[in-house]
Structure 1
Amino acid sequence: MSGSSTILAAESGAVSLSGSNVTFVIVAIVFALVALAFAAVFVQSVLKAGRGTTSMQEIAGAVQEGASAYLIRQFRTLAIFVVIAVVLLFLLPVHGSGDNETMVKIGRSLFFIVGAVFSSFIGGAGMALATRANVRVAAAASETGGREKAMGIAFRTGGVVGFLTVGLGLAGGALVVLIYRSDAPTVLEGFGFGAALLAMFMRVGGGIFTKAADVGADLVGKVEKGIPEDDPRNAATIADNVGDNVGDCAGMAADLFESYAVTLVAALILGQAAFGQDGLIFPLIVSTVGVVIAIVGVFITRLRASDRNGLTAINRAFYISAVLSAVIVAVISFLYLPDSFAGFNDSSLDAGVVASGRNPQLVAIGAVVIGIVLAAAIQALTGYFTEVERRPVQDIGKSSQTGAATVVLAGISIGLESAVYSALLIGAGVYGAFLLGGSSITLSLFAVALAGTGLLTTVGVIVAMDTFGPISDNAQGIAEMSGDVDERGAQILTELDAVGNTTKAITKGIAIATAVLAATALFGSYTNTLSSSLADAGLQPDQIGLEILNLLNISNPRNLVGLLIGAAVVFLFSGLAINAVSRSAGAVVMEVRRQFREFPGIMDYSQRPEYGRVVDICTRDAQRELLTPGLLAIMAPIAVGFGLGAGALASYLAGAIGAGTLMAVFLANSGGAWDNAKKLVEDGAYGGKGSDAHAATVIGDTVGDPFKDTAGPAINPLLKVMNLVSLLIAPAVVAWSIGTDRNTPLRVSIAVVAALIIVAAVVWSKRKPISMGEEPSAAEPESKRVSA
Structure 2
Amino acid sequence: MTGILPAVVKPELEGGNLILVVVVALIALGALGMAAMFRSQVLAAGEGTDNMKTIALAVQEGANAYLTRQFRTLAIFAAIAFFALLVLPADDTTVRIFRSVFFVVGAGFSAAVGYLGMNLAVRANLRVAAAAETTGREPAMTIGLRTGAMVGMLTVGLGLLGASLVVLFFQDEAPDVLEGFGFGAALLAMFMRVGGGIFTKAADVGADLVGKVEQGIPEDDPRNAATIADNVGDNVGDCAGMAADLFESYAVTLVAALILGSQAFGDKGLVFPLLIPAIGALTAVAGVYLTKPKAGENGLATINKSFYLSSGIAAIASVVLSYLYLPSSFAEFTNIATDLAGAEGDPRFIAASAVVIGIVMSAGILALTGYYTGTEYRPVKDVGKTSLTGPATVILSGLSVGFESAVYTTLVIGAAVFGAYLLGGAALTVSLFAVALAGCGLLTTVGVIVAMDTFGPVSDNAQGIAEMSGDVSPEGAQILTELDAVGNTTKAITKGIAIATAVLAATALFGSYATSVFESLAEANVRPDEAYLLDFSVFNPAVIVGVLLGAAVVFLFSGLAINAVARAAGAVVMEVRRQFREIPGIMEGTGRPEYGKVVDIVTKDSLRELVTPGILAVLAPIAVGFGLGATALAGFLAGAIGTGTLMAVFLANAGGAWDNAKKLVEDGHHGGKGSAAHEATIIGDTVGDPFKDTAGPAINPLIKVMNLVSLLIASAVVSLSVGQDQNDVLRVVIALVAVAIIAVAVIISKRREVTISDDGDNTGSSSFTPHAPDPHNV
What is the TM-score with the length of structure 1 in the denominator? Answer: 0.96
Q: Structure 2 matches for 1:58-207, cutoff 5 A? A: 58-94=54-90, 97=91, 101-144=92-135, 146-207=136-197
Deviation at 1:351, TM superposition (A): 5.5
**Deviations 1:141-198 (Å, cap 9, x if unpaired)?**
0123x10110000010010110010100001001111111111101000000000000
Amino acid at match of 1:375: S
Q: Which residue of 2 aligns with 1:388?
A: 375
Match in the other structure for 1:284:
274
Distance 1:261 1:248 in 2: 19
Distance 1:458 1:3, change over 3 A: farther
User: Which of 324, 327, 348 is matched with 1:338 structurally?
Assistant: 327
Size of the alignment, in residue pairs?
A: 772
Q: Deviations over 1:513-570 (max 9, x none)?
A: 1100000000001011112212332349xx79x9487331322222211110000000
**TM-superposition CA deviations, 1:248-287 (whole Å, max 9, x none):** 0000000000000000000000001112111111101112
Q: Give the whole-Å Cα distance in 2 for the aligned partners of 1:2 and 1:511.
A: 39
- Structure 1 window deviating more from structure 2 (344-353 vs 576-585): it is 344-353
- State the one-letter code of the partner of 1:625: E
Q: Residue 296 of structure 1: CA displacement?
A: 1.2
Counterpart position of 2:318: 329
Instruction: Work out whether 1:24 is the aligned partner of 2:20.
Output: yes
- The AA in structure 2 aligned to 1:557 is P
Equivalent of residue 485 in structure 1, options 469, 472, 476: 472
Q: Which runs of 5+ in 2 are unaligned?
A: 773-778
Secondary structure of the residue that 2:172 maps to in structure 1? helix
Query: Is the counterpart of residue 566 in structure 1 residue 550 in structure 2?
Result: yes
Contact persistence 2:58–2:228 (CA under 8 A): yes
Contact 1:341 1:349 in 2 (8 A): no
In structure 2, the CA distance between the partners of 1:2 and 1:88, relative to structure 1 (3 Å rule), is closer
Deviation at 1:774, TM superposition (A): 9.9
* TM value normalised by structure 2: 0.97
Look up the match of 1:628. 612
8 Å CA contact 1:236–1:592 kept in 2: the answer is yes
The structure 2 residue matched to 1:209, chosen from 192, 199, 203, is 199
Which whole-Å CA distance do the structure 1 matches of 2:459 and 2:400 have between them?
29
Alignment of 1:697-716 (within 5 A): 697-716=681-700
Inter-partner Cα distance in structure 2 for 1:133 and 1:287? 28
Secondary structure of 2:73 counterpart: helix
Question: Residue type of the partner of 2:133?
Answer: S
Structure 1 gap ranges (5+)? none
1:588 maps to amino acid: V
1:9 aligns with 7
2:727 to 727, 740, 743: 743
Q: Show the 5 A alignment for 1:159-558.
A: 159-307=149-297, 309-348=298-337, 350=339, 353-354=342-343, 356=344, 358-539=345-526, 547=531, 550-558=534-542
Query: For 1:591-646, what per-residue CA distance to the aligned partner results, in whole angstroms no more than 9, with x for missing partners?
Result: 10110011240001000110001000000000000000000000100000000000
The letter of the residue matching 1:9 is A
Within 1, Cα distance between the matches of 2:391 and 2:22? 58
**d(CA) in 2 for partners of 1:335 and 1:350?**
25
One-letter amino acid matched to 1:596: F
Distance 1:211 1:245 in 2: 11
Q: How big is the shift at 1:350?
A: 3.0
**Structure 2 residue aligned with 1:54:** 50
Question: Is the 2:291–2:306 contact (alpha carbons within 8 Å) kept by the matching residues of 1?
Answer: yes
Asked if structure 2 preserves the Cα contact closer than 8 Å seen for 1:612 and 1:787, the reply is no
Deviations 1:193-252 (A, max 9, x none): 000000000000000000000000011111111110000100000000000000000000
| Partner Cα separation in structure 1 for residue 763 and residue 333 of structure 2 | 74
Residue-by-residue CA offset, 1:465-518 (whole Å, 9 max, x unaligned): 000000000000000000001111111000000000000000000000110000
Q: Which residue of 1 aligns with 2:751?
A: 767
Specify which of 729, 750, 754 is matched with residue 738 of structure 2. Answer: 754
Q: Secondary structure at the match of 1:142?
A: helix
The one-letter amino acid paired with 1:262 is: V
User: What's the CA shift string for 1:70-97, capped at 9, x where partnerless?
Assistant: 0000000000000000000000112xx2
Letter of the 1:518 partner, please give it: A
Looking at structure 1, the residues matched to 728 and 518 of structure 2 have their Cα atoms a distance apart, in angstroms, of: 21
Inter-partner Cα distance in structure 1 for 2:124 and 2:206 = 25
Identity value in percent: 67
8 Å contact kept, 2:433–2:508: yes
**C-alpha displacement at 1:449, in angstroms?**
0.3
Work out whether residues 367 and 451 of structure 1, in 8 Å CA contact, stay in contact via their aligned partners in 2: yes
Counterpart residue number, 2:41? 45
Q: CA RMSD in A?
A: 1.9
The one-letter amino acid paired with 1:701 is D
SS of 2:47's partner is coil
| 377-386 vs 280-289, greater mean Cα deviation | 280-289
CA distance in 2, matches of 1:87, 1:117: 16
Q: Could you list the per-position Cα deviations for residues 409-446 of structure 1 after superposition, in whole angstroms to 9, with x for gaps in the alignment?
A: 00001100111111111100000000000011110000
Contact kept? 1:502, 1:672, Cα under 8 Å:
yes
Distance 1:4 1:514 in 2: 31
- 2:2–2:523 Cα contact (<8 Å) kept: no
Q: Secondary structure at the match of 1:223?
A: helix
Q: Distance in 1 between matches of 2:700 and 2:526?
A: 36
The one-letter code sitting in structure 1 at the alignment partner of 2:303 is I
* Residue 640 (structure 2) pairs with residue 644 (structure 1): no
Residues 293 and 325 in structure 1, CA contact (< 8 A), matched pair in contact too:
yes
Counterpart CA distance in 1 for 2:309 and 2:290 is 9
Residue pair 2:132, 2:140 contacting (<8 A) in 1 also? yes
Assess if the C-alpha contact under 8 Å between 1:591 and 1:773 holds in 2.
no
Contact 2:59 2:229 in 1 (8 A): yes
Alpha-carbon distance in 2 for matches of 1:776, 1:45: 45
Q: SS of the counterpart of 1:433?
A: helix
Counterparts in 2 of 1:654 and 1:745: CA distance versus 1, 3 Å: same
Aligned to 2:776: none
Distance in 2 of aligned mates of 1:591 and 1:224: 14
Work out the CA distance in 2 between the residues paired with 1:137 and 1:336.
44
- SS of the counterpart of 2:260? helix
**1:778 deviation in Å?**
14
